[in-house]
Amino acid sequence: MSTAGPDFPELVPTARSMSPGDFAGKTFRSQSGVEARVQYGNKAFDKTMDLEYSNITEANAALIHDHYLACNGTLYYFNLLQKPKSGNETFHINDQSGSTSNRYSATPFGLKYRYAEPPQFNSVKTGRMSVTVKLIGVLDS
Amino acid sequence: MTYYSGKDGTLTYNGTVVAKVSNWSISATVDTLETTVLADSDRTYVPGLRTSSGSATIFYYDEAAKPLLERIIKTSTVSESDILVIKLGWDTKLIQGSCIITSAELSCAVGEVMQASIQFQFTGAPTGVTL
């Protein structure tokens, strides 16, 4: 089991994109084109969540930067609380439960979020920055 | 209460009044940086960078327009030494700042008084404003 880092900062993103990942399996294709698929696992993995924060204050950008370091970069997993997942209240039903209707969450699907890569910080003007965060939901050992 | 008109206006560069100015204008804009986030129903913004620029038309009377035109119409390259302090004044009021002449046009046509048109871009904040 990997180490847990602190919760991700409670910041509502400007834009968010998510891909639910895929199940482990292998596809075999014969010369005739007929395809057979073998499933190796019962959980989708490598769920991706990209969060964009445009023109946020330097203080909020610092929260993300420091959180990344507190998670030892891409090593520790962490929880996404409510605000990073807010905004699609029927797609993502109730953040407080472990239901699979919480589609932006990782835990209901047996996954844990960690940083997929270091976040990118762009300076916009004095006091304002834009940050891009890429997360990946992995099956934790 | 006082109205102002063209007879109150002046254009000054580096402390020298430019003669025979027909008109000048200035425009200032501020970029907006969008801070709208998911679940917001109305867009929100914060102020971004400010841009100030202006233009002037000067009759080519003697060499009235020469000091401004020769900032870019010349044989040597344009450098930082061509940055001017331009003051747009009317009565006791003024807008002043460091400017780069970004455009200089000289027109000569039959039946018209020869005149020069310049456009300038402020660099940095205005150093003096009295509105």
> pLDDT at residue A104 above 90?
yes
d(CA A30, CA B17): 87
- pLDDT tens per residue across span B101-110: 999 999 999 9
In a domain, A1, yes or no: no
Architecture of the domain delimited by B6-34+43-130: Roll (2.30)
Closest-approach residue (CA) in chain A for B40: A87
Q: Between vectors from CA B46 to CA A17 and to CA A60, what angle results, nearest 5°?
A: 55
> pLDDT at residue A102 above 80?
yes
Count how many domains chain A has.
Answer: 1
Q: What is the pTM of this model?
A: 0.79
> pLDDT at residue B65 above 90?
no
- Across the interface, whether the CB atoms of B46 and A16 are under 8 A apart is answered no
- Across the interface, whether the CB atoms of B35 and A54 are under 8 A apart is answered yes
Closest by CA position to A14, among listed A122, A126, A137, A136: A122
Both tokens assigned to B77: 């390259």
> pLDDT at residue A48 above 80?
yes
> pLDDT at residue A1 above 70?
no
- pLDDT tens per residue across span B16-62: 999 899 999 999 999 999 999 998 999 999 999 999 999 999 998 88
d(CA A114, CA A65): 14
d(CA B56, CA B11): 8
Interface of chain B toward chain A, CB-CB under 8 angstroms:
33-39, 46, 48-49
Domain containing residue A51:
15-139
Closest-approach residue (CA) in chain A for B32: A55
Q: What is the DSSP letter of A83?
A: G
Q: How far away is chain A from the Cα of B28, in angstroms, using its nearest Cα?
A: 18
In a domain, A23, yes or no: yes
